[in-house]
Amino acid sequence: MNLSGAKALMKSLECEHVDTIFGIPGGVVIPIYDELFNQEAITHYLVRHEQAAAHAADGYARATGKVGVCMATSGPGATNLVTGIATAYMDSVPLVALTGQVTTDLIGNDAFQEANITGITLPITKHSYLVHEASEIPQTIKEAFHIASTGRPGPVLVDIPKDVQTMSARFEYPKKVHLPGYQPTYEGHPGQIKRAAKAITEAHRPVIYVGGGAKISGASEEVRALAETIVAPVTMTLMGMGTLPAEHPLSLGMLGMHGTKYANYAVTESDLIIAIGARFDDRVTGKIASFAPNAKIIHIDIDPAEIGKNVRVDIPIVGDVKRVLQKLIPLLKDTHTKEWMEKVQTWKREYPLEFGETGLKPQYVVREISRLCPDAVVCTEVGQHQMWAAQYFSHRHPRNFISSGGLGTMGYGFPASIGAKIGRPDETVFDLAGDGSFTMNCQELATAVAYDVQVKVAIFNNGYLGMVRQWQELFYDRRYSQTKLSEINFVKLADAFGAHGIRVDSPSEVAPAIEEALAVPKPVIIDFRIEPEECVFPMVPAGAALNEIIDAKNGG
Amino acid sequence: MKHTVSVLVQNKPGVLARTAGLFSRRGYNIESLTVGVTENEAISRMTIVVAGDDTVVEQVTKQLNKLIEVIKVSDLTKESYVDRELVLIKVTADSSNRAEIMQIVNIFRARIVDVAPKSLIIEVTGDEGKLDALISMLKQFGIKEIVRTGTLALGRGPKVIQSGKD
Ligand SMILES: Cc1ncc(C[n+]2csc(CCOP(=O)(O)OP(=O)(O)O)c2C)c(N)n1
Ligand SMILES: [Mg+2]
């Protein structure tokens, strides 16, 4: 069967069971959009900025575990995707970005709206393709989805010149991929698993340190089983939150720069760190030389390049964490953690997360959202509110906390929440936002209203680029250089787009506002006018060791 | 410490940019990089000389392996191998010193490939030690230009680097 490149692309996407695309058309992708016009299997969401297309596809992917798909035209359309692709790359999110390109005879000529997008995205994609012939499309799409979603997932970009979209070629969707250079290791080495089991059995002060890899692998049950079998505390990175429910007695919450004191103390005094799908990022380890100084380290990860990158590892296990844990757990025998658990529980009692009571506290707002919508999918922007969302929401489910961890992209959360809600329409989806971050992609209110995607945005409105202001307060002598934000009437903004807006000034209005937001069948913005100079604590100052953690009493 | 790394890659457009880009963005130092097709024309071999300790080279190897088009990476430095480089050297030469230069060229089993009234081009292959020695001998005459291919290397003995990942 002969098909045009654009038709072949649609057919290929169908073969990959794609039903959702986020994008914006433009000159060189009109043939593709013309094909979209004809078919029903795929819903295209027209966003208002390509960055939001990438973030929405990313949020969709994180919420569902499926591959997210976004599309843009050449040149500015493609370059607008860049931040979204980089965000997905840093957090290992399966994404396929489709871009149009100028016709093959013009490539390299600085043609109108030409940008070398495969070159620009080289360091932020898992792989990329510039398609030269319509006949390459089925194979390329097959490979792109395979690469994006297997091994350590990541974004793949497919750049398709306009003439390739219109030329015709034989269509046959391949059944298999042949990628001799790409064979991820899924099964852990049995000898290494045995060594790990021995080290665990011998440990007295083990800590399980869980990253985003555990979610990707779907290993929540296994992490819980490991923790309960050996009776060891579990701490999670921002990306790992929800792997073990926050209420679980063995959970220590988050570790690192804004982690709990007890998680950071436990890691520092541990004699065995069991790292699961985590990568020892500097926000997690603090001063690397003082990270778990007396501990052996077991590192389980599907990406061999992560092992030994930042810390020395005693027992590396390359493999899919779920499969490795399934092999490891049956080998474990009695452990000697009774004393250790007593110590950890004492820390937990002695150093709980706490906040003051004056005015409208952001931590209180997060707790109320958590109380009223415990099973909501929570997306965040980047800043103080992101850390409060991590600390004070009682995370229960692995795919319910969606946040830009590696890149820290302001403007991520709102479009991601739209993608998440489209992926899981029956669930409550919140974006916990900063007033600064939200305005970076607030144009997407138009998208949410147009498609009736009923996300609820809670703006933690402190009138500042709060996280930067906090650093200025603590480390730059309160010189608030360029961090004060001008006033925005978010209720009117919501109104202008046809969404619903609510303003909250005092603690007593918090719960009724959340209830109203849930009840109104529209996208909703709640403008929480929080304490403007509240800080995120506890905090490990940049470059300090994890146990040099400060709080409001000794830091602020 | 220098490591000579042999990399088999799929012979596709963009693969060189991907590989070289990896080095610059991760901050590894390339001393030299050569690339050309192998006995199988769908596959090219790169020989990359990197400076760095064992941990750096381990990271380089792992990061290279992550590239989809990279089929196999092996650190030849761990085994016994042959390495060669070809250099063309243009030296200042006239009738007063041409004979002396030719003598040096003979000792090093190099060749003169171009003669002009005021210059010579010398072609030489060998390993790094030999090339450095010749270049330093020629300095006294005045070196006008040098061009080097970069190091090529193969492991010794019958063993071959298979094009399948382990
Ligand atoms: C795109 C982008 N630009 C700049 C930054 C640096 N940055 C990190 S947090 C922050 C402040 C965020 O302000 P806001 O969204 O109001 O959140 P708050 O910290 O006040 O809760 C800034 C500017 C960033 N992370 N991302
Ligand atoms: Mg703010």
What are the distances in angstroms from CA A78 to CA A63, A113, A161, A191? 24, 10, 12, 46
**Per-residue confidence band for B163, with pLDDT thresholds at 50, 70 and 90:** low
CA A87 to chain centre: 8
pLDDT higher than threshold 50 for residue B113? yes
Give the strands of the sheet with B29-37, arranged side by side: B29-37, B43-51, B2-10, B70-75
CA A341 to chain centre: 31
Residue B25 or residue A489, greater confidence: A489
Name B106's Cβ contacts closer than 8 Å, sequence gap at least 6: none
The chain-wide mean pLDDT, for chain B, equals 93
Instruction: State which residues have CB under 5 angstroms from ligand 2, the bound ion.
Output: A 434-436, 462, 464, 466
Please state, as a whole number, how many other Cβ atoms lie within 10 Å of the Cβ of residue A478.
10
pLDDT higher than threshold 70 for residue A445? yes
pLDDT higher than threshold 60 for residue A555? no
C-beta atoms of B59 and A147 within 8 A: no
8-state DSSP, A484: B
- The per-residue pLDDT for A554 is 65
Query: How far, in Å, is the centroid of ligand 1 from the Cα of A465?
Result: 5
Task: Find which of B66, B73, B74 to mutate to test the A interface (most A CBs within 10 Å of its CB).
Answer: B66
The answer to whether residue A101 neighbours chain B at the CB level (below 8 Å) is: no
End-to-end CA distance of chain A: 70
Residue A479 or residue A335, greater confidence: A479
* A470 in catalytic set: no
Distance from C-alpha of A24 to C-alpha of B114, rounded to nearest angstrom: 61
Q: Give me the residue spans of the domains in chain B.
A: 2-79, 82-152
In chain A, what percentage of residues exceed pLDDT 70?
99
Distance from C-alpha of A364 to C-alpha of A386, rounded to nearest angstrom: 14
Cβ A460 under 6 angstroms from ligand 1: yes
CA B93 to chain centre: 27
Using a CB-CB cut-off of 8 Å, the residues of chain B touching A307 are: 62
Cite the DSSP H helix spans in A65-136.
76-80, 82-90, 117-120
Indicate the pairing of strand B119-126 with strand B111-116.
antiparallel
* A113 in catalytic set: yes
**Sign of torsion, CA A222 A254 A277 A402?**
positive
Among candidate residues A113, A139, A326, A443, the one labeled active-site is A113
Say whether the peptide bond before residue A532 is cis (omega within 30 degrees of 0).
no
- The per-residue pLDDT for B166 is 39
The chain-wide mean pLDDT, for chain A, equals 97
- The per-residue pLDDT for B165 is 42
Closest by CA to B121, choosing from B144, B151, B96, B99, is B144
pLDDT higher than threshold 60 for residue A505? yes
B2-79: CATH, from 3.40.50.300, 3.90.245.10, 3.30.70.260, 3.40.50.460: 3.30.70.260
Give the ligand with the smallest distance to the CA of A467. Answer: 1
Q: Residue A283 — left, alpha, or beta (φ > 0 → left; ψ -120 to 50 → alpha)? A: alpha
Structure tokens at B68: 């989809």
pLDDT higher than threshold 80 for residue A373? yes
Q: pTM for the complete prediction?
A: 0.96
- The per-residue pLDDT for B25 is 86
Q: Which atom of ligand 1 is nearest to the CA of A460?
A: 21
Residues 1-20 of B with CB under 8 A from A: 9-10, 13-14, 17-18
Tokens 């921002």 sit at which residue? A238
pLDDT digits (tens, 9 = 90+) for A138-180: 999 999 999 999 999 999 999 999 999 999 999 999 999 999 9
Q: Which atom of ligand 1 is nearest to the CA of A382?
A: 9
Residues 33-62 of B with CB under 8 A from A: 55, 58-59, 62
* A90 in catalytic set: no
Of the candidates A122, A305, A308, the beta carbon closest to that of B18 is on: A122
| Phi, psi dihedrals of residue B86, rounded to the nearest 5° | -110, 135
Q: What is the mean pLDDT of residues B31-48?
A: 94
Query: How far, in Å, is the centroid of ligand 1 from the Cα of A193?
Result: 42
Of the candidates A118, A130, A180, the beta carbon closest to that of B71 is on: A180
The answer to whether residue A309 neighbours chain B at the CB level (below 8 Å) is: yes
Q: Whose CA is nearest to atom 13 of ligand 1?
A: A465
**Per-residue confidence band for A334, with pLDDT thresholds at 50, 70 and 90:** confident
How is A313-333 classified by DSSP, letter by letter?
A: -SEEEES-HHHHHHHHGGG--
Please state, as a whole number, how many other Cβ atoms lie within 10 Å of the Cβ of residue A419.
33
The answer to whether residue B166 neighbours chain A at the CB level (below 8 Å) is: no
Class of domain B82-152: alpha beta
Please state, as a whole number, how many other Cβ atoms lie within 10 Å of the Cβ of residue A493.
18
pLDDT higher than threshold 70 for residue A556? no
Indicate the pairing of strand B43-51 with strand B152-155.
unpaired
Closest by CA to A444, choosing from A82, A47, A23, A71, is A47
| Phi, psi dihedrals of residue A547, rounded to the nearest 5° | -85, 0
Q: What is the mean pLDDT of residues A93-114?
A: 97
pLDDT digits (tens, 9 = 90+) for A25-71: 999 999 999 999 988 999 999 999 999 999 999 999 999 999 999 99
Please state, as a whole number, how many other Cβ atoms lie within 10 Å of the Cβ of residue A244.
28
Structure tokens at A133: 């012939």
Query: Nearest-5° angle of CA A274, CA A279, CA A283?
Result: 105
**Per-residue confidence band for A484, with pLDDT thresholds at 50, 70 and 90:** very high
Closest by CA to A510, choosing from A363, A309, A352, is A363
Torsion of the alpha carbons at A259, A263, A264 and A267, rounded to the nearest 10: -140
pLDDT higher than threshold 90 for residue A516? yes
pLDDT higher than threshold 90 for residue A469? yes
8-state DSSP, A487: P
Distance from C-alpha of A277 to C-alpha of A173, rounded to nearest angstrom: 34
8-state DSSP, A200: H
Cβ A218 under 6 angstroms from ligand 1: no
pLDDT digits (tens, 9 = 90+) for B69-91: 999 999 999 889 999 999 999 99
Distance from C-alpha of B125 to C-alpha of B148, rounded to nearest angstrom: 10
Domains annotated on chain A, with CATH: 2-170 (3.40.50.970), 190-350 (3.40.50.1220), 362-529 (3.40.50.970)
Please state, as a whole number, how many other Cβ atoms lie within 10 Å of the Cβ of residue B1.
10
C-beta atoms of B17 and A180 within 8 A: no
pLDDT digits (tens, 9 = 90+) for A120-136: 999 999 999 999 999 99
How is A489-511 classified by DSSP, letter by letter?
A: -HHHHHHHHT-EEEEE-SGGGHH
Per the DSSP assignment, residues forming a β-bridge with A310 are none
Cβ A468 under 6 angstroms from ligand 1: yes
